[in-house]
Amino acid sequence: YSGSHDGSIRVWSMTAEATETLGLEQMRMPMGAIDGVDSLSVWGGRLISGHCSGRLRVWNVATCAFDQVLEGHNSPAYALAVCDSFLVSGYKDNSIKVWAMSAAGTCERERTLLGH
């Protein structure tokens, strides 16, 4: 996966016989909603993207559509990490958010850590 400041997320095939990778799918925001992608993390059949707006999106990899938008901050989400059933997001404003992730692929904010 790769994300871009034009808001696109690409899924790449690493099995191509050519020396270049081939883009298989492209996940995009709704029309008119350009929100640059700053970070990505994979969790099971989900892809989580962190954006310039501070929002996080939880994508269904099979359908290339997002299932949930997580409101975080107004500053960019530069870092994402998944550990067991938790998602941790780091923001430009020096805060960290911890999200609980359900088996169904939805997330709820657990806590905010400040002062890092």
Query: Could you tell me the pLDDT band of residue 1, with boundaries at 50, 70 and 90?
Result: confident
Q: What would the DSSP string read from start to end of 2-69? A: EE-TTS-EEEEES--SSSS-EEEEEE-PSTT----EEEEEEETTEEEEEETTS-EEEEETTTTEEEEE
| Third-level CATH fold of 2-113 | Methylamine Dehydrogenase; Chain H (2.130.10)
Q: What is the mean pLDDT of the chain?
A: 82
Query: Could you tell me the pLDDT band of residue 22, with boundaries at 50, 70 and 90?
Result: very low
Query: Could you tell me the pLDDT band of residue 8, with boundaries at 50, 70 and 90?
Result: confident
- pLDDT tens, position by position, 62-98: 887 888 999 877 899 999 999 999 999 999 999 999 9
